[in-house]
Amino acid sequence: MINAGCLTIKEFTSAVGGGITPRMVRHYHQLGLLPQPVRSQSNYRLYTEKDVRRLQRIVALKQQGFQLNHIRQILKVEPEADTSITLMSQLQQQYRAVMQQISQLRQTASALEGLLGRDQDCQIMQGEVFSQLKLLEVETQAGVGELDNLWSKLDAQVHTHPEVFQESLQWLLPDLSDRSEIEQHLISQMVLACGDVSLVSFLRLGNKAIASSREALKSGSMVVVDTPSVAAALDITRLAHLGCKIETLINNPHITTATEAEIAFWQHQEWREKLPQLTKGCVLVIGYAPSVLLEVCEAINNQTIKPALVIAMPIGFSHAPAAKRQLMQTSVPHITIEGTLGGGLLAATALNALVESLLDKPDCHCYLS
């Protein structure tokens, strides 16, 4: 007999949603994320609304990128308890541990990139290195020196020819066969701009961004950037060919960093007052100041402005990720990078790649499929 007001494990997972299965629930019990449930007389697990709310919090935190051991620490602290300092200290320690793991993985990735990223002209020597790596013994310092010699042989090939970037990328980029040619070109250019292939996992294109960008650029839309540094990185010649003029929001040539742009935007009301005056159908490119993007999102939600596309890659560790999340919740076509990654060069590169594709393939419709 089931107790009144209680849920079986199947009803429990259905109430929580989010793809949760009974097997996952049992796993969370083992990890201590969920308290052990009471049992019915027939030994069925029984759950309450309190359990539903707790598991929903776990699912929400997991979707935001928190690992299960971090979630366990967060849920240990009751909202009423004055233990935020202790929790912050624990999370800081966990963050440092995660960063150490990322650093170790980055070293491994760099070694793999050093092998996989070789173009065809390097592959003869690369084959020799592969065969020697299998036989390599590095238990002694002499062995480590032998490994260094292998890298030296491989690196010697780079002096014989210029790097062929596309050949390198074909071994490193994930499978992009489900993306249009224009999107593949955009991704490649952005990876080359920062040298980090992991960027692909965080790049977000929303609400028909490619189609909207091509329509706007074809019609000679205004391009509005947040700082002079972003404007300086734009392909002015190609934009002029399309009839697109560039306007800088924070038009002080001495402002070159995210910190300066953020402070300047807050201190000078006239730059904030320029936002509602933006031309309908313009292309907004934000590469530094997260507050500019926050203000843009508010203006979009209030229907004060209606840009054709927002390319948003501001830098920051709290405001920038929040501003990007707000942008992704709007109906405006956008290109952004989740989290803290970004910068003016990446923002400008995104627009330059779109402009280049439009001029090289004006009649391409691959992005519509």
Angle made by CA atoms 249, 243, 270, in degrees to the nearest 5: 15
Q: What is the pLDDT of residue 36?
A: 86
Q: What tens digit of pLDDT does each residue of 190-240 get?
A: 999 988 888 998 999 998 999 999 999 999 999 999 999 999 999 999 999
Q: Which residues pair with 248 in a beta bridge?
A: 225
CA distances, 332 to each of 66, 125, 136, 156, 346 (Å) = 28, 50, 55, 49, 20
- Token digits of residue 279: 């031309």
Q: What tens digit of pLDDT does each residue of 33-53 get?
A: 888 888 877 777 888 888 888
pLDDT of residue 185 exceeding 60: yes
pLDDT of residue 71 exceeding 60: yes
pLDDT of residue 93 exceeding 60: yes
Q: Please state the rounded mean pLDDT for residues 69-92.
A: 67
pTM, 2 dp? 0.73
- Helix-strand-coil split of the chain, %, nearest 5: 60, 10, 35
Where does the pLDDT of residue 317 fall: very low under 50, low under 70, confident under 90, or very high at 90 and above?
confident
| Element counts in the chain: helices (H) and strands (E) | 17, 8
Q: Please state the rounded mean pLDDT for residues 96-102.
A: 81
Helix/strand/coil for 296 = helix
Domains and CATH numbers, the chain: 9-76 (1.10.1660.10), 117-168 (no CATH), 173-368 (3.40.50.10230)
The answer to whether 210 and 367 have CB atoms below 8 angstroms apart is yes
Angle made by CA atoms 151, 157, 158, in degrees to the nearest 5: 95
Q: What tens digit of pLDDT does each residue of 119-134 get?
A: 666 665 566 666 666 5
The answer to whether 1 and 44 have CB atoms below 8 angstroms apart is no
Q: What is the pLDDT of residue 316?
A: 87
Q: What is the pLDDT of residue 157?
A: 66
- Higher-confidence residue: 309 or 20? 309
Computed on alpha carbons and rounded to an integer, the radius of gyration of the chain in Å comes to 26
pLDDT of residue 10 exceeding 90: no
Q: Is the dihedral of CA 10, 13, 17, 23 positive or negative?
A: negative
Highest mean pLDDT among 107-116, 118-127, 252-261: 252-261
Q: Please state the rounded mean pLDDT for residues 144-160.
A: 64
Helix/strand/coil for 261 = helix
